[in-house]
């Protein structure tokens, strides 16, 4: 698939259904995130996979707008960077 095709077919999801995501799929997503270029190849990012429902609920309340959908997600990937 061509990169342009991928970009044209992308979509935003704002409603999740708690459908289980395999660890293999999560690993693929994390590995793709690690491929992102960084200044001087420092790779300052780390990822935390959150599956705990109480923490997902707290994350969903972390902003005034734009994060409520996290509560219903199977998991969230939190990105932290130095």
Q: Give me the pLDDT at residue 27, please.
A: 96
- Predicted confidence (pLDDT) per residue in 47-74, tens digit: 999 999 999 999 999 999 989 999 999 9
Which of helix, strand or coil describes residue 31?
A: helix
List the domains of the chain with CATH numbers.
Answer: 14-81 (3.40.109.10)
- Predicted confidence (pLDDT) per residue in 11-50, tens digit: 888 888 889 999 999 999 999 999 988 888 888 889 999 9
Query: Cβ distance 70 to 76 under 8 Å?
Result: yes
Q: Give me the pLDDT at residue 18, please.
A: 87
């Amino acid at each position: 698939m061509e990169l342009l095709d991928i970009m044209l077919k992308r979509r935003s999801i704002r409603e999740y259904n708690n459908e289980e995501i395999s660890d293999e799929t999560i690993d693929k997503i994390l590995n793709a995130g690690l491929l992102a270029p960084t200044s001087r190849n420092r790779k300052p990012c780390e990822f935390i996979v959150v599956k705990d429902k109480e923490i997902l609920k707290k994350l969903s309340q972390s902003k005034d707008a734009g994060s409520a959908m996290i509560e219903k997600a199977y998991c969230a990937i939190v990105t932290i960077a130095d």
